[in-house]
Amino acid sequence: MEPTSIRRYGPIGIRLVRPRDARVLQAELLGNRSWLRPWEATSPDGPVSFDMRAGVRRLLQQYRDGGGVPLVMEYDGEVAGQLNVWGIARGSLASATIGYWVSERFAGRGITPVSVALATDMCFTELNIHRMEICIRPENTASLRVVQKLGFRYEGFRHRYIHIDGDWRDHYAFALVREEVPEGVLRRFIDGRVPADAAVVPQTPPQDVTEPSS
């Protein structure tokens, strides 16, 4: 993705994060603590610095190294949240994972599904990625609606997969491969041709298992 380019559909757009975005991103993160904290990745080693300037620098270095594409989501030109394509693997795997957050004041405007669709199409058509994955906590109903709307396939249960809000949390895994959406994720979504059952989770997925104490 070129640093100056914007992918847009209506008032919603995605673009590469810029160093000057750090101030507004930090303000949104600090102003949305109760909204975002239950879904934020944390470190099992303890609290980390809440410095968006340093965070943006790290993300842009990962971008230069080819490991990720850090994006901001916009609504009418205003920063509404972040969407990161991370864990990019090349070669025979050619895969990546998407993570995102949106400010509470922008919720309900369709920003996240459109942004995820734009980012996935970009990865399939411009970055030669073959498989895109999204992992979601079972309790995160808003994110589950995103994969339902876009037709990401349910692929399985990941036990205590990511450290979030202070502990290791279970996740559902969803994915798409390029051949499933030759017309593009956004186009399929807009045209109303998303398979109704793609993201359906089995009624009895694996549950968290705690080893008995001795």
Q: Say which CATH number the domain at 136 has.
A: 3.40.630.30
Residues 214, 85: Cα–Cα separation, whole Å: 42
pLDDT in tens, 176-194: 999 999 999 999 999 999 9
pLDDT for 150 beyond 80: yes
Q: Is residue 123 in a domain?
A: yes
Q: Is residue 214 in a domain?
A: no
Mean pLDDT of 138-162: 95
Given a contact cutoff of 8 angstroms between Cβ atoms, the answer to whether 106 and 80 are in contact is yes
The closest of 142, 137, 131 to 159, measured between CA atoms, is 137
Under DSSP, the state recorded for 201 is P
Which residues constitute the domain of residue 137? 6-190
Q: Is residue 86 in a domain?
A: yes
Decide which of 38 and 119 is more confident.
119
Q: Is residue 202 in a domain?
A: no
Q: Is residue 196 in a domain?
A: no
Number of domains in the chain: 1
Q: Is residue 66 in a domain?
A: yes
Given a contact cutoff of 8 angstroms between Cβ atoms, the answer to whether 147 and 136 are in contact is yes
CA 53 to chain centre: 21
Q: Is residue 57 in a domain?
A: yes
